[in-house]
Amino acid sequence: MLPITYSPAYTLVPTYECFNRCGYCNFRQEPGRDQWLTESVAKQRLGSLAGQGVREILILAGEVHPQSARRQAWFDLVYNLGKMALDLGFYPHTNAGPLSRSEMTSLKEVNFSLGLMLEQVSPRLLATVHRQAPSKDPQLRLEQLQLAGELAIPFTTGLLLGIGETDQEVADSLMAIAEIHQQYGHIQEVILQPHNPGQRQTDNIPAYNPQKLVGVVSLAREILPAEITLQIPPNLVGSFSDLLACLAAGVRDLGGIVPIDEVNPDYHHQSVEQLSQLLEENGYLLQPRFPVYPVYFSWLNPNLQQRLPILIN
């Protein structure tokens, strides 16, 4: 059977507040209206995961403006949650929007990988769905991918599909990712995430056509280097038959299977047991993975490498 990987994950959200106002977002809250996660509550939540098979702790943060007086407190919380998860035996992966070089360097100490969705490279979207989202500037996000490469950080990025992009812009986005990876070799996964409407989004954006998604998977497999794994979130695909079509086209990972998809809270995952059985009936073997791929183990600092002794030895 052909192996398909997933990450047994749990999400910690330091804060839902975000200075961006994306027209499709179902995650953010207005700055000042969200009570930040405390470290004591985070420790309780992580402690409750014992024996549940969770590996990855996804630290998924809304963005505090880089010039905000609260940016340092925000970053300290993001960093401390990673360290806490690490100390408790988990494997942190952080996605907290664009970061400075010093912030990324610090997070590399307590994370096995980092992530940032490129979404789309078209600046045209800054006049539509990203009209109130300054950190969604494509150039800023491309610079973040490049910075991760310079710092030798295993990285996950991806495209958001169905937010007004053209077919050519999808191809351009994939080519931009491929070009940066060819320079640094650090991009382990590319997520192809179809937009699905949620109750809290402000713009009237319909669901992405699942039949079109299969074509994007095929295009991505043509454009991206073979060593980059393609990922599809199974809860955002229209049906299981659509998921099977994506697997046939080249998808090899299903991302984090979590109790709640914080970015798409209206769309729940099937249980790992259900998904595994369905896949097995169709010739696929669902296997857990870590948030860093084995080829990148040697990139990690010695403290992190020691957390993966079975795999390294």
Read off the pLDDT of each residue in 241-256 and give the average, rounded to a whole number. 97
CATH superfamily of 2-300: Aldolase class I (3.20.20.70)
Nearest to 64 by CA among 24, 23, 20: 20
Which pLDDT tens digit goes with each residue over 6-58? 999 999 999 999 999 999 999 999 998 899 999 999 999 999 998 999 999 99
At 312 the pLDDT is 41
CA separation for the pair 66, 154 (Å, rounded):
23
Q: What does the longest C-alpha to C-alpha distance in the chain come to? A: 54
pLDDT at residue 310 above 70? Answer: no
Report the DSSP beta bridge partners of residue 189: 156, 229
Sequence spans of domains, the chain: 2-300
At 124 the pLDDT is 97
**Residue indicated by tokens 């494509």:** 138
Model's pTM, two decimal places? 0.96
Report the DSSP beta bridge partners of residue 230: 190
pLDDT at residue 210 above 90? Answer: no
Contacts of 168 (CB under 8 A, 6+ apart): none
CB 208 within 8 A of CB 196: yes
CA separation for the pair 178, 230 (Å, rounded):
13
In which band, very low, low, confident or very high, does the pLDDT at 309 lie, cut at 50, 70 and 90? low
In which band, very low, low, confident or very high, does the pLDDT at 308 lie, cut at 50, 70 and 90? confident
At 313 the pLDDT is 38
Which pLDDT tens digit goes with each residue over 119-176? 999 999 999 999 999 999 999 999 999 999 999 999 999 999 999 999 999 999 999 9
At 211 the pLDDT is 85
Read off the pLDDT of each residue in 308-313 and give the average, rounded to a whole number. 55
Report phi then psi at 194, rounded to 5: -75, 135
For the chain, what is the mean pLDDT?
96
**Angle subtended at Cα 157 by Cα 32 and Cα 238, rounded to the nearest 5 degrees:** 90
The one-letter amino acid code at 187 reads I
Query: What angle in degrees, to the nearest 10, is found between the helix axes of 167-184 and 210-223?
Result: 30
